[in-house]
């Protein structure tokens, strides 16, 4: 039985248009989380910049070969503090400068880029209250689920809107993920009704810990993020939830408890893959303005 205790933290930010100021807050809160004992620290989606899409494109960085300034700072922090960092979504440069990936990166405690995940499900949604988002217009979608091993723990990497697609999380669980990261910029209007419900559901069905750092408050041009960053255990119990404002929340993840849940209520082991068939492609209507 795995008796490892992993102390994890979710950093909650109110990122704006100034990358330098945003990264200053990242450094401060990651350092505070480390002082509180965290060895795995997670940052929300768009941690480096919440602003216009053209501004996000302008800060896109390569992740093959030499790192850009944001990547270098995350690497330096991880090495200096001897922690693992799961950061973002932030813009990863592609061959099409108009459509970077929205990529979550994982740096290990040596500062090495251990893994990256490119957001698969892009936020093309009309949010109640009149806001319209079309992430696919400015972002290239990812194609591959990612489970990364860090500090002896298998982390399933996702970003924000992914949380509404349980099939992705089932794949991550079957591939061995015992911790699921959900860095987000979850809107206030959807978050107040869906955020906790979705995170607890993903934890329960995957029988895994969920760490979900979120943006909070208003940012240009039209963002209003829900906050309530949280950590959830494999039974669906909320271990910690952030108050309003920039901060971090942390919890000890007892991986032996995860083993207990998976052995006493073995829903993952009781799967019957041979009985499952995907239905014929559903021709769901997409709004003409999408």
- Per-residue exposure over 95-125, b if at least 16 CB sit within 10 Å of its own CB, e if not: eeeebbbbbbbbbbbebebbbbbbbbbbbeb
82 is catalytic: no
Closest CA to 25 of 69, 73, 91: 73
Distances (CA, A) of 113 to 65, 86, 101, 155, 236: 10, 10, 17, 14, 30
| Catalytic residue of the set 45, 61, 196, 258 | 45
Question: Each residue of 5-17: b (16+ CB within 10 Å) or e?
Answer: ebbbbbbbbbbbe
Q: Could you say which of 56, 160, 196, 258 is catalytic? A: 160
Q: Specify whether 160 is catalytic.
A: yes
Quote the CA–CA distance of 236 and 275 in Å, as a whole number: 27
246 has catalytic annotation = no
Q: How far apart are CA 237 and CA 200, in angstroms?
A: 7
The catalytically annotated residue of 56, 61, 92, 119 is 119
Kindly list the catalytic residues.
45, 119, 160
């Amino acid at each position: 039985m795995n008796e490892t205790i992993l102390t994890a933290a979710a950093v909650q930010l109110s990122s704006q248009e100034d990358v330098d100021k945003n990264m200053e807050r990242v450094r401060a809160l990651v350092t505070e989380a480390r002082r509180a004992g965290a060895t795995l620290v997670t940052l929300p989606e768009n941690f480096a910049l919440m602003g216009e899409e053209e501004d996000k494109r302008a800060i896109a960085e390569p992740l093959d070969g030499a790192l850009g300034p944001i990547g270098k700072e995350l690497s330096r922090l991880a090495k200096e503090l001897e922690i693992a960092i799961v950061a973002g979504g932030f813009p990863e440069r592609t061959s099409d400068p108009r459509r970077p990936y929205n990529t979550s990166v994982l740096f290990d405690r040596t500062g090495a880029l251990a893994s990256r995940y490119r957001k698969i499900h892009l936020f093309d949604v009309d949010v109640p209250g009149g806001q319209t988002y079309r992430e696919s217009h400015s972002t290239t979608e990812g194609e591959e689920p990612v489970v990364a091993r860090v500090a002896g723990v298998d982390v399933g990497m996702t970003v924000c809107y992914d949380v509404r697609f349980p099939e992705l999380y089932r794949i991550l669980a079957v591939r061995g993920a015992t911790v699921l990261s959900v860095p987000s910029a979850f809107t206030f209007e959807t978050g107040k009704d869906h955020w906790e419900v979705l995170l607890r559901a993903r934890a329960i069905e995957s029988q895994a810990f969920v760490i979900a750092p979120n943006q909070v408050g208003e940012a240009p041009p039209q963002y209003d993020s829900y906050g309530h960053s949280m950590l959830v255990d494999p039974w669906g119990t909320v271990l910690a939830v952030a108050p309003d404002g920039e901060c971090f929340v942390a919890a000890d993840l007892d991986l032996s408890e995860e083993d207990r849940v998976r052995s006493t209520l073995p829903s993952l082991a009781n799967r019957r893959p041979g009985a499952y068939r995907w239905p014929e492609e559903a021709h769901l209507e997409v709004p003409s303005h999408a």
